[in-house]
C-alpha cells in the first residue's frame, strides 16, 4: 500500500481515527478530516507521521457540496490523488423519537450528512480514480442495513443508510471496469472509548448483549476496511459487511427503548 493516498472523513475521533491509523500502518499517506475537533485531528496527524507516513488535517463538513470539493482538492494538492476514500463521517441523533417528532431541519441534517454528502465525496474522487484505473471506496452503514427492515425511533437515519446500500451496490457495478471497488462496512453497537481501542483491549471484558461475549472495538472495523483496500481485494465489491460480533443492533435498540 506504500504510495497510496487515503482520505478518511470524520477521522479526528472514533472509528474514523482508528481507520486512519490502520491505513497508515499499511503504508498509506492519509488526509484526516474534521469539522470541529481540530486538536484531535492534529494529534492523529502526528501519530501518522510518527509511523513514517505523510498526513494532513483538513476542516470540512462533507454534508456541504462545496466543502466536499475543497476537502478532496486539498488532499490531492498536499498528498497526491486520492486512491482510497473512507466515508466514516455521518451524524446520528442519539435521542430516540418518532418520525412525526422530527423537524424539517433534522431530516435535512441526517439525510445530507449520511447519504447526500457521501455521494458528493464519491463524485469528487471518481475522476482521479478512473484516470489511474484503481480505487477503493468504503461507505459506513449499520448492522443489517442491507435487509431494509424497519427501525422504530431511527426512521431518518435508517432511511439514509438503507438508501446508501443501494447506491453502494450500483456504484460498485458501474465502476468495476475502472478498477474501483465500492463496499459498505456495517459496525455493530461499538460504544464510547472502544471505538478507538484495539482487540486486545477488549479481551476479558464481558458484554452480555453481544453474542461474541466481548465489546466490539475500532480495530475490529479498521482491520476489515484495511483488507478491502488491499490491491488483492479487487474481486470483493458491492458488498455490505456486518462487523457486529453477531449482534442485531435494531432488535437490541428496540428492546432497550421498550424497557425505558
pLDDT classification of 260: cutoffs 50, 70, 90: low
Q: Name the residue with cell 456504484.
A: 171
The arithmetic mean of pLDDT across residues 235-240, rounded, is 98
State the cell numbers at 158: 435508517
Report the run of H or E that residue 95 belongs to, with start and end.
none
Indicate the domain borders of the chain.
5-259
What is the predicted pLDDT for the residue at 246? 87
Tens-place pLDDT, residues 53-83:
999 999 999 999 999 999 999 999 999 999 9
* Dihedral (Cα; 60, 92, 23, 229), 10-degree rounding: -110
Q: DSSP string covering 15-80, please? A: HHHHHHHHHHHTT-EEEEEESS-HHHHHHHHHHHHHTT--EEEEE--TTSHHHHHHHHHHHHHHH-
Instruction: Give the C-alpha separation, 148 to 170, whole Å.
Output: 16
pLDDT classification of 48: cutoffs 50, 70, 90: very high
Mean of pLDDT over the chain: 93
Q: Which fold has domain 5-259?
A: Rossmann fold (3.40.50)
Strand partners, 185: 140, 241
CA atoms within 13 A on the CB side of 53: 27
Q: What is the pTM of this model?
A: 0.93
**Which spans in 80-204 are helix H?**
104-111, 117-132, 155-175, 199-202
Position 221 pLDDT exceeds 90:
yes
Pick the closest to residue 237 from 186, 187, 180 (CA basis): 180
What is the predicted pLDDT for the residue at 215? 86
Instruction: Give the C-alpha separation, 247 to 188, whole Å.
Output: 7
Strands 180-187 and 135-140 turn out to be: parallel
What is the predicted pLDDT for the residue at 254? 52
Amino acid at each position: 500500500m506504500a504510495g497510496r493516498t487515503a482520505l478518511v472523513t470524520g477521522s479526528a475521533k472514533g472509528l474514523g481515527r482508528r481507520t486512519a491509523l490502520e491505513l497508515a500502518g499499511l503504508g498509506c499517506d492519509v488526509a484526516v478530516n474534521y469539522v470541529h475537533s481540530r486538536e484531535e485531528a492534529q494529534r492523529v496527524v502526528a501519530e501518522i507521521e510518527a509511523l513514517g507516513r505523510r498526513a494532513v488535517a483538513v476542516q470540512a463538513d462533507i454534508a456541504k457540496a462545496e466543502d466536499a470539493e475543497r476537502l478532496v482538492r486539498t488532499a490531492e494538492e498536499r498528498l497526491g490523488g486520492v486512491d482510497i476514500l473512507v466515508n466514516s463521517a455521518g451524524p446520528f441523533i442519539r435521542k430516540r423519537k418518532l418520525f412525526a417528532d422530527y423537524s424539517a431541519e433534522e431530516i435535512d441534517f441526517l439525510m445530507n450528512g449520511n447519504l447526500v454528502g457521501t455521494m458528493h465525496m464519491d463524485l469528487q474522487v471518481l475522476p482521479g480514480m478512473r484516470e489511474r484505473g484503481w480505487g477503493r471506496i468504503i461507505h459506513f452503514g449499520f448492522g443489517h442495513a442491507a435487509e431494509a427492515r424497519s427501525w422504530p425511533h431511527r426512521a431518518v437515519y435508517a432511511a439514509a443508510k438503507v438508501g446508501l446500500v443501494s447506491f453502494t451496490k450500483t456504484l460498485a457495478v458501474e465502476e468495476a471496469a475502472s478498477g474501483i471497488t465500492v463496499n459498505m462496512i456495517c459496525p455493530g453497537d461499538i460504544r464510547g472509548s472502544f471505538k478507538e481501542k484495539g482487540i486486545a483491549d477488549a479481551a476479558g471484558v464481558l458484554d452480555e448483549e453481544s453474542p461474541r461475549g466481548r465489546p466490539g472495538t475500532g480495530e475490529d472495523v479498521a482491520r476489515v476496511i484495511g483488507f478491502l483496500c488491499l490491491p488483492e481485494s479487487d474481486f470483493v465489491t458491492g458488498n455490505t459487511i456486518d462487523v457486529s460480533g453477531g449482534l442485531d443492533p435494531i432488535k437490541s435498540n428496540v428492546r432497550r427503548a421498550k424497557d425505558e
